[in-house]
Amino acid sequence: MTKRSKKVRLAVARLDEIIEEYKKEHPAQERDWRTYEQQFARRAKIAFHNLEPLVEEAVSTIKIETGENRGNDPKLTLKQKVLVLLLKHFCGKSNRMMEWMVVMFSLLTSIDVSYKTIERLYSDEAVRLAIFNLHSLLLKKKGIKEADCGGDGTGHALLVSQHYATSAQKLKDKAKEVSGTVKFVYSFALIDIKERMYIGYGTSFKSEKEAFERALSLAKRFRIKVNSLRLDRYYSGESYVNICQEALGNVKMYMIPKKNIDSLGVGEWCKMIYAFVEDTKAFLREYVQRNQS
């Protein structure tokens, strides 16, 4: 370990102390709930006013070629499917709760579907295409060509359980539930911290790194120039900086070094480490904006 990396470790060791000083110097502004609710209501009205024509434009470019149809005709048009799915997430409701809400609004919309229909929207390829088109359309209408970004990833456990109630009953024993294989689905989102719009998103059943790379690829596909990027310590390594540079070009990075750092490396990684050590508080002012992701 070099003298320079020792200096970095010392700066990292003092980080908690520096953060406490930073919080005192930059106290969080108290939210005016009345103003916040008024602004939220105004933004919601604008969003709902623009939602239907935007979805209409997003689905208009999708042409569906149908072959032999042996089932029942779909109850929902593609436009209605997308609207139901988006409204479900806006309201934060489960599939069953959304079914009941659709029933209530059926007096106005003439739409009456089961929760299974809503559940199947997630695997509907046409719906996925329409939402991708909608995302692209929104970014174009907002005029986002350059962005200062923050990114965050997470993983969700998918637990498969096996129930042995039948066997237990034969043995005149209590029913037992045995946990089966646990799998994970990973996701990563890349947000424009100024416009608060996501410019890249990726998922993976393999790893968070793969989800991360897919999110960068999507941002590149939208041809959005990323000027700076803020990532948490999971990505704090020279290899991840290189991945960002290869995918997005010359990006200024903001990441907190890990406690066991032993090399300053070269290129953008080295520049970032020096910026962190030389003026940690100025570095934190940029880094904390990652919280918007």
Segment 67-91, tens digit of pLDDT: 666 666 777 889 988 988 888 888 7
Look at residue 103 and tell me whether its pLDDT is greater than 60: yes
Look at residue 280 and tell me whether its pLDDT is greater than 80: yes
Over pLDDT 90: what percentage of the chain? 35
- 1-5, 114-118, 249-253: least confidently modelled range: 1-5
The more confidently predicted of residues 125 and 101 is 125
Residue 70 confidence (pLDDT): 65
Q: Which whole number is the average pLDDT over 194-209?
A: 92
Contacts of 231-240 with CB under 8 Å at 24 or more apart are 231/150, 231/151, 231/152, 231/255, 231/290, 232/152, 232/256, 232/290, 233/258, 234/153, 234/208, 235/151, 238/263, 238/265, 238/269, 240/212
Residue 163 confidence (pLDDT): 46
Residue 253 confidence (pLDDT): 95
Ranges of each domain in the chain: 1-29+145-293, 31-62+75-141
The more confidently predicted of residues 2 and 217 is 217
Q: Which whole number is the average pLDDT over 252-276?
A: 85
The more confidently predicted of residues 8 and 140 is 140
Identify which of 91, 97, 61, 98 has the alpha carbon closest to the alpha carbon of residue 76.
Answer: 98
User: What is the identity of the amino acid at 13?
Assistant: A
Residue 12 confidence (pLDDT): 81
Residue 106 confidence (pLDDT): 61
Instruction: Report the first-to-last Cα separation within the chain, whole angstroms.
Output: 34
Residue 147 confidence (pLDDT): 94
Look at residue 9 and tell me whether its pLDDT is greater than 60: yes
Residue 7 confidence (pLDDT): 79
Residue 67 confidence (pLDDT): 66
How many C-beta atoms lie closer than 10 Å to residue 15's C-beta? 16
pLDDT band for position 173 (cuts 50, 70, 90): very low
The more confidently predicted of residues 269 and 116 is 269
